[in-house]
Amino acid sequence: MKEIRTLNIFYIVLGTAGLKVYIYVINLAYFYELGLIRVEKKKDLNINL
For residue 29, is it within any domain? Answer: yes
For residue 48, is it within any domain? Answer: yes
First CA to last CA distance, the chain: 72
For residue 6, is it within any domain? Answer: no
For residue 11, is it within any domain? Answer: no
pTM of the model: 0.50
**Domain total of the chain:** 1
For residue 40, is it within any domain? Answer: yes
pLDDT digits (tens, 9 = 90+) for 21-30: 999 999 999 9
For residue 8, is it within any domain? Answer: no
For residue 10, is it within any domain? Answer: no
Task: Report which of residues 21 and 45 the model is more confident about.
Answer: 21
CB atoms within 10 A of CB 1: 5
Q: Give the whole-number percent of the chain exceeding pLDDT 70.
A: 92
Query: What is the span of the domain harbouring residue 47?
Result: 21-49
